[in-house]
Amino acid sequence: QVQLVQSGAEVKEPGASVKVSCKASGYTFTDYYIHWVRQAPGQGLEWMGWINPNSGGTTYAQKFQGRVTLTRDTSISTAYVELTSLRSDDTAVYYCAGADWAGKKDFDYWGQGTLVTVSS
């Protein structure tokens, strides 16, 4: 069965960086984009960007340009999001989703989420 398993919760100080991983299994990792979405406590969903695991190509939401980097390691079917210069309002649950959003395939699977807390 398709699974995306994310790394564990993180606590970081303001100004630090965090890197969250997302390991995919049960399908061909390079067949579908990996999207990253975050959700602040009690708030809605916010799209951060995607990576094409096949080519490594990325697209980022303008809001995160310069602070976020999406990468992948195809040898271990794992995608990563790194966010730098953390602020308190970056406190959120970060989700990865292996999905076909632009096409017509009903492939859409999410990781369990990783809580990142930014606090001094």
Partner 1 sequence: DIQMTQSPSSLSASVGDRVTITCRASQGIRSDLGWYQQKPGKAPERLIYAASSLQSGVPSRFSGSGSGTEFTLTISSLQPEDFATFYCLQYSTYPRTFGQGTKVEIK
Contacts to partner 1 by CB under 8 A: 35, 37, 44-47, 59, 61-63, 95, 99, 101-102, 104, 106, 108, 110-113
Q: State which residue, 63 or 87, has the beta carbon closest to partner 1.
A: 63
Closest separation between CB of residue 119 and partner 1, Å? 21
Q: State which residue, 27 or 47, has the beta carbon closest to partner 1.
A: 47
Number of alpha helices (DSSP H) and beta strands (DSSP E) in the chain: 0, 11
CA distance to 24, 36, 104, 108, per residue, from 84 (Å) = 24, 15, 34, 28
Q: State which residue, 28 or 74, has the beta carbon closest to partner 1.
A: 28
Closest separation between CB of residue 40 and partner 1, Å? 12
Closest separation between CB of residue 63 and partner 1, Å? 7
Residue 10: phi and psi, rounded to 5, are -130, 145
Q: Which one, of 89, 88, 82, 79, lies nearest residue 111 by Cα?
A: 79
